[in-house]
Amino acid sequence: MGSFGHFPLTLRFITQFYVEPSNVTGDLLLLTGEEARHAVQVLRHKKGDRIVASDGLGKSYDAEILSASSKQVEGRILNSETGKNEPKVELTLAVGLTKGEKLDWLVEKATEMGVFAIWPYFARYSEVKWDRKQVEKNIARWQRIALAAFKQCGRSVIPKMEILKNLAEVVNRKGNRELLAAHPVESGASILNSGSLGQEVIAAVGPEGGLAPEEVEAIRQAGGRFVSLGPRRLRTETAGLVLATRVLVLKEEL
């Protein structure tokens, strides 16, 4: 059997499971809850089968099942790998909140592409006003979407998800990261080559109403760069995906 990294080739294309970090001890791992049920009742895994699991924090495991039930699957770890299928660039996507469930699609696709963190934020022109309960409900839904996409695409990291109260909070968290913002009104230079980008990047897009003047100024004052995504007006979720794609392509990660 051929191999790729630490994993046999045939294991690169099977279902990846999520294992809670606390359920990995020494050379043993445990799948519980929905993961165990899916492994046994849907995929019909049994003792002796090989499985691939990841803890969502960067560690992936190739394991052999020692025992299996719909409540718990115990596996012996044969190999482990850190950072499997993760880009070297740490890309955070900050996106202005919009009405409806448009960001569901963006969360799924951004996860598949390798985005490290997703920060939906309340922009000046956002048309949504959520209370704490609504914020928690939407975060929980996006986390479920990201988890499903993480398992489907074989990543080892689940994007960190957090709703920020405004764009100023995004800017305040910039630190040493590069800040790029899609804003069609600005005539700033586009990203020209991979050498112009560091390994930690925040890519920001506004809601469908665009960025407000004070938000544009905050980005400029923080040393951010404005990026043109072309002559056509894009929806928020499209702009977010295009900007993320552009960064990852220029960093040779796609």
pTM across the whole model: 0.88
My answer on whether 131 and 15 are in the same domain is no
Distance between CA atoms of 114 and 248, rounded to whole angstroms?
A: 8
Q: Which domain holds residue 113?
A: 90-250
**3-state secondary structure labels for all residues of 111-156:** HHHCCCEEEEECCCCCCCCCCHHHHHHHHHHHHHHHHHHHHHHCCC
* Structural domains in the chain (count): 2
pLDDT, averaged per 10 consecutive residues of the chain (254 residues), comes to 42 78 97 96 94 97 96 97 94 92 94 96 90 89 96 95 94 94 67 69 92 93 88 90 93 86
Q: What local confidence, expressed as pLDDT, does residue 187 receive?
A: 55
Is the four-CA dihedral 219, 223, 229, 230 of positive or negative sign? Answer: positive
Q: What local confidence, expressed as pLDDT, does residue 102 receive?
A: 86
Q: What local confidence, expressed as pLDDT, does residue 1 receive?
A: 38
37: CATH: 2.40.240.20
- Of 82, 107, 135, the residue at which a domain comes to its end is 82
139: CATH: 3.40.1280.10
My answer on whether 19 and 77 are in the same domain is yes
Distance between CA atoms of 111 and 150, rounded to whole angstroms?
A: 6
- Of 30, 60, 82, the residue at which a domain comes to its end is 82
Distance between CA atoms of 106 and 182, rounded to whole angstroms?
A: 16
My answer on whether 111 and 232 are in the same domain is yes
My answer on whether 153 and 31 are in the same domain is no
Element holding 182 (H helix, E strand): strand 178-182
My answer on whether 130 and 219 are in the same domain is yes
Q: What local confidence, expressed as pLDDT, does residue 233 receive?
A: 85
Measure CA 133 to chain center. 23
Distance between CA atoms of 147 and 220, rounded to whole angstroms?
A: 34
Strand segments (E) across 16-171: 16-18, 24-25, 28-32, 50-54, 59-68, 72-82, 90-96, 117-121, 160-161
My answer on whether 229 and 107 are in the same domain is yes
Distance between CA atoms of 158 and 155, rounded to whole angstroms?
A: 8
Distance between CA atoms of 140 and 13, rounded to whole angstroms?
A: 28
My answer on whether 183 and 65 are in the same domain is no
Q: What local confidence, expressed as pLDDT, does residue 231 receive?
A: 80
